[in-house]
Amino acid sequence: MMKKIRKMKPLKKAIQELESNDVLPLNIQDEVLTPDISVNEQVLKQVFENCSDIVFRPILVRRQTKMLLIYIDGLVDTKIVEQVVLKPMMFEGLPNRLENVNTTGEIIQDQLIALSQVRTVSKVREVIEGILKANLVVLTEGESQALLSDLKGFDKRNIEEPTAELSVRGPRDGFTETLRVNTSLVRRRIRSPRLKMEPYSIGELTQTDVMITYIEGIASNSVLEEVRQRVQRIQIDGVLESAFIEEFIEDFPFSPFPQIQNTERPDVLCASLLEGKVAIFVDNTPFSLIVPMTFWAGIQAAEDYYERSIYSTFIRWIRFILINISLLLPSLYVAITTYHPQLIPTNLLISIAAAREGIPFPTVVEALMMEFLFEGLREAGIRLPKHIGSAVSIVGALVIGQAAVQAGIISAPMVIIVATTGISSFSFPRYDLGTAYRVLRFPMLLVAGMLGLFGVACGTLAIIIHLNNIRSFGIPYLSPVAPQIPRELKDVLMRTPRWKMTHRPMQIAGKEKMRIPDGQKPGPNRGDQTK
């Protein structure tokens, strides 16, 4: 009896401090639970004061054993609580062979409560964390331990096709806001015990679950260790989306180019894991992170690997040309028409001069106005409701562009140039990389208006130098082009047949570089196959 009193004294003292202060004492969460269930209940009610969604449900088993169930209404499946916990205990009571159990551990061992993922804890902090993570907590009179059972039962969004990464051919499932659903989609594709998932909890208030995922032996140990260190050193009050993590772990935070790939497609993430990359899952968001990222990964679409290699290569070249058009076309038009009209054929120059007659603004100002207007219409189309946004962006561009030309404010060639640039910018498979090009388009226009083609050349050279200096978790951003690795150029601007891509990226993968054995070229006679 004296031992019981000694154990209760520290927690009761903490309760007195709690009642005398408005702020929760830091030491109360480090205290150990007491055998007195009323004391534990009082502490937890003080911790969750003014939390109307926290349910405290006392029950009495055969008028002898007092128990207390604690859970969050809306996060725990109440039907399972009623059928598996409340009904057996309140109406059936303790089985005869368990009437004299002394600890919660014995109850679990004898399977009194038929629940999965059950564990016992002894500290107040562990109980609080368990409640906040959608666990059912069971306290029993006379025991200094609590039973935690994972009974998550909140509403989940169904698995749907990703909206940001559409493809004609390929899987139609996408990540959701539920972490375990996302990890299960990856497990369905990579059925190997070498697929590892390391859990972390980030955010002082949100305690967001974060999962580092990789394939053991394929992922580089140096990259993996760097990812662990950067994730562990994050100190923040809350994580609401994977972008919160991304901003803390990227190499060059002030670069317009993304250094961490995000995706909501399980097939893209699995393909990256098989190359030796590391994925980061964040709870409450469908967007997962993939590191390291290269520039070429940003211009490759998932569908490139589901179509035949000839077609995929052709589409990649078209995409690459359109990407360069989206950056350089307005600045080249401004530079040539302003400083180098001799480069334009005579008939075309006469047409442009006739169209610009009476326009009150220089070409560079005209281009900046139209680009600003186009970006405004694009933003309006995104923010407005789905059915209204597309109509506003298309109709608005047509109406405003035509009215500006008729009013003599904007020339017709400039409308064509900006429209072509806008269409080209839609060819980016990754939205964040397209955003970088949209941002760079404005300084390129300014240097073109001031220095002509020399300014365009200087701006392009500055972008290339910047791309060469970027690293993503130690991997060069332009790899394998700079530094050049000839063997890996098979999957950059062209996509060779899958049976020829025999090795994983040398700078990204770990020990296992070989991916596909040689000599698998298809043909009518396998004896005549060549590598």
Nearby residues of 154 by Cβ (< 8 Å), 6 or more positions away? 74, 75, 134
140's CB contacts (< 8 A; 6+ apart) are 37, 65, 66, 67, 68, 104, 107, 147
Separation of alpha carbons 38 and 513, rounded Å = 61
Closest CA to 275 of 513, 475, 520: 513
3-state secondary structure 451-498: HCHHHHHHHHHHHHHHHHHCEECCEECCCCCCCCCHHHHHECCCECCH
Please state the pTM of the whole predicted model. 0.86
**CB 523, CB 529: distance < 8 Å:** yes
Each of the 531 residues of the chain gets a pLDDT tens digit; together they read 344 434 455 555 555 555 555 444 545 666 888 888 888 899 999 889 889 899 998 887 766 678 889 999 888 888 878 777 777 666 655 555 445 555 555 554 454 455 667 788 888 999 998 999 888 898 888 888 888 888 887 777 888 988 888 888 889 999 999 999 999 999 999 999 999 999 999 999 999 999 999 999 999 999 999 999 999 999 999 999 999 999 999 999 999 999 999 999 999 999 999 999 999 999 999 999 999 999 999 999 999 999 999 999 999 999 999 999 999 999 999 999 999 999 999 999 999 999 988 889 999 999 999 889 888 888 877 777 776 666 666 667 767 777 888 888 889 999 899 989 988 988 899 989 999 999 999 999 999 999 999 999 999 999 999 999 999 999 999 999 988 888 889 899 899 999 999 889 988 988 888 988 888 888 886 555 554
- Please answer whether residues 269 and 183 qualify as being in contact, where contact means their C-beta atoms are separated by less than 8 angstroms: no
